[in-house]
Amino acid sequence: MKIKAERPPRSNVLLIGDLLVFILFPVLGASNHESALTTETFVRTTLTLAVSWYIVATFIGLYANRITHSIRRVMPRTLLAWAIAGPIALTTRILLFDRPFDLAFSLVALGVTGALLVTWRAVYALVPRKRSAED
């Protein structure tokens, strides 16, 4: 698997879908715990996950059409990107927002958000679309 940085997508569909995954995680968490989702918690969680993901995913090529339109190419790269970005996001959350390390939260955050990302990216890869000149 050759890894090289790619430019951001012409279409923002992937970027918006990725962002929705990171918005959904704290919403699901608050719902599951039957607690109110504060702005602080929402921003703290969403921001660290989304920024870490975008940087790593861009570097690994997860916004390139030749990758995103192929389920065989997108799945291993999505898993690799999340394996790198997830721990970076959790570490950033701890350091920037002075949060304690919480093993249970970390495992749930990595697992649930990873599953949402893999599902979203698989759906995107499988939806038929016109081929562009970049494919």
pLDDT in tens, 72-114: 999 999 999 999 999 999 999 999 988 899 999 899 999 999 9
Q: Where in the chain are the domains?
A: 13-31+38-126
What pTM, to 2 d.p., does this model score? Answer: 0.81
Task: Name 105's Cβ contacts closer than 8 Å, sequence gap at least 6.
Answer: none
For 45-77, the pLDDT digits (tens) are: 899 999 999 999 999 999 888 888 889 999 999
Q: Looking at this protein, which amino acid is placed at residue 30?
A: A
* CA dihedral sign of residues 69, 116, 40, 83: negative
Q: What's the start-to-end Cα distance of the chain, in Å?
A: 17
